[in-house]
Amino acid sequence: MIVVSAVATAVALALLAGCNSDSHTTTNTPTPPAITDYQYSTKAVYAAKQDAATYQAAPAGFTPVFTELVARHGSRSLSSPKYDVLTKLVWEEAASQGALTSLGQTLGHKVDLVTAANEKLGYGLLTVIGKEEHAQLATRLANRLPTLLEGDGAHCLKVETSGKDRANESAYYFMQSLKNKVNYVADSADCYITQSDPSKIDKKLANKNELYFHKTEPADAKYLPAYQAYQSFIGDEDKGVASAPELTAAQEALKALPKTKVMARQMLERIYSKAFVDYLASGVEFVAINPEDGGKTYVHDEVDAALMLYNLFIIGPGMVREAEAQGDEAWDLEKYLTPEESAWFSYLSDAEDFYDKGPSFANSTVTYDIAQSLLDGLFNEVQTQVVEGQKSHVAKLRFAHAETIIPLVALMKLVGSRQGAEVGTLMSQENNEWRGGWVSPYAANIQWDVYQNSDSQVLVKMLYNEKEVAFKAGCEPVAAGSFFYDFAELKRCYAYAG
């Protein structure tokens, strides 16, 4: 949630001026096309971005010898009771003031339905769609590499997770599906420990150093400075530790954008009276406390209230089956906001993740240096299993979070995450390609397929959300237009020392 304090208002306004300095309109400016589709930022449900039938074939003489995956968990319920709780608290206050519109009178019951579904499923756990996303991802992986995964004998597939419930569930449903196609070793700490409880996983398979690096002090001292720098950059609101001034200023400037307040008021006045929205804008305090860790989320004004409702809305597509299970009444959350409003709040959500976890500021690498342990892990697997010939497992499958994927792809400088924002100029959809729905939707994934020939030359092809993509600029493929890269070239390009 984006929060504004009075302390940095002047800085925020200066940033805002910089953002708007080159965007003056004239009478000759055409009217932009109407926004007709709802936007969900990083809560977009997953869809493979390329038809597997169109993938490039490996160069002659090369066969698949290894594959590895890093995937975000699938669609889930609300991570904790906050967006539903705060939306209901604001609604109850409006009801007590007699400030509900006819549409607004329906919202309280809809929030209750959402809350009931989340409580029944469990906050932060995979929905039916989330389970299906990983089951289908596994099937497509097996279909893509049949000669590697579907041969004779039981294959050793190494599985790791962040240790969090929804990442563990993702691993479980992925592996449950995969066993329909692949004969793999089970109940082996060196490969995969079969789970009896989907949300729990053998602790030997949890790798927080590589998959939960944003909240895990690294065991390897060489990664400690990056971890400490990141913690200093983001701060800790609950502990009263301020974030970096440039981060605070950017977040406040986003909230201070005139369109933010226009969209918030437009959304809320559909539900509440103008007087009540004025009341919110004058300064309020509603709070939700996370029962697990005591973390607090606040509504201080009308923008916060609109953000809570938007964040409640975007959980809907991933919980369609849970909503259907409640009976014939649909949640129908779309009626409380327009596609245009969703697009703006999706942008704000994108921008927050961009600054906190992604490319962030052009003069800094602090938000993604912390992913170096994971990138090194990807390289280590190819180096040891293929180049050095250990061949103890034919796949490394990792299951984690948006906080894992977003810094990783920024560190790798992949399409969608190649450009930071200049300090003093806000990231916008006009000046930056970053979009949460591409960078890290539910079940977002990076896959490396590794090939080798009889001369022991090793090639790597990367899929990002199952689309063939290039490695960063400066890495040369084996031929113009190819998505295959010599592993030695990738080591040079990413300065991997082994």
pLDDT in tens, 107-119: 999 999 999 999 9
456 φψ region: left (φ > 0), alpha (ψ -120 to 50), beta (else)? left
Which residue is listed with tokens 């089970």?
186
Q: pLDDT tens digits for 77-112?
A: 999 999 999 999 999 999 999 999 999 999 999 999
Q: Which amino acid is at 11?
A: V
Domain spanning 9-15+63-493: which superfamily?
Answer: Phosphoglycerate mutase-like (3.40.50.1240)
Would you state the structure tokens that stand for residue 32, as one six-digit string?
A: 């932009």
Which residue is listed with tokens 């030359």?
457
Would you state the structure tokens that stand for residue 253, as one six-digit string?
A: 């400037």
Burial (Cβ within 10 Å: 0-12, 13-18, ≥19) of residue 431 = middle
- pTM, 2 dp: 0.92
pLDDT in tens, the chain (498 residues): 444 333 333 333 334 434 433 333 333 445 556 778 999 999 999 999 999 999 999 999 999 999 999 999 999 999 999 999 999 999 999 999 999 999 999 999 999 999 999 999 999 999 999 999 999 999 999 999 999 998 778 999 999 999 999 999 999 999 999 999 999 999 898 999 998 899 888 888 999 999 999 999 999 999 999 999 999 999 988 788 899 999 999 999 999 999 999 999 999 999 999 999 999 999 999 999 999 888 899 999 999 999 999 999 999 999 999 999 998 788 999 999 999 999 999 999 999 999 999 999 999 999 999 999 999 999 999 999 999 999 999 999 999 999 999 999 999 999 999 999 999 999 999 999 999 999 999 999 999 999 999 999 999 999 999 999 999 999 999 999 999 999 999 999 999 987
Would you state the structure tokens that stand for residue 10, as one six-digit string?
A: 């002047």
Helix axes 372-382, 402-412, angle to 10 degrees: 70
Which residue is listed with tokens 């709802």?
38
- The count of C-alpha atoms lying within 13 angstroms of the C-alpha of 107, restricted to the half-sphere facing its C-beta, is 33
User: Which residues have C-beta within 8 Å of that of residue 345, sequence separation ≥ 6?
Assistant: 263, 306, 307, 310, 337
Q: What are phi and psi of 412, to 5 degrees?
A: -80, -10
Separation of alpha carbons 242 and 222, rounded Å: 26
The answer to whether 12 touches 263, Cβ cutoff 8 Å, is: no
Dihedral angle of Cα 262, 337, 9, 90, to the nearest 10 degrees: 120
User: Which residues have C-beta within 8 Å of that of residue 278, sequence separation ≥ 6?
Assistant: none
Q: What ranges do the domains of the chain cover? A: 9-15+63-493
Query: Which stretches of 283-350 are assigned E, i.e. beta strand?
Result: 286-289, 296-299
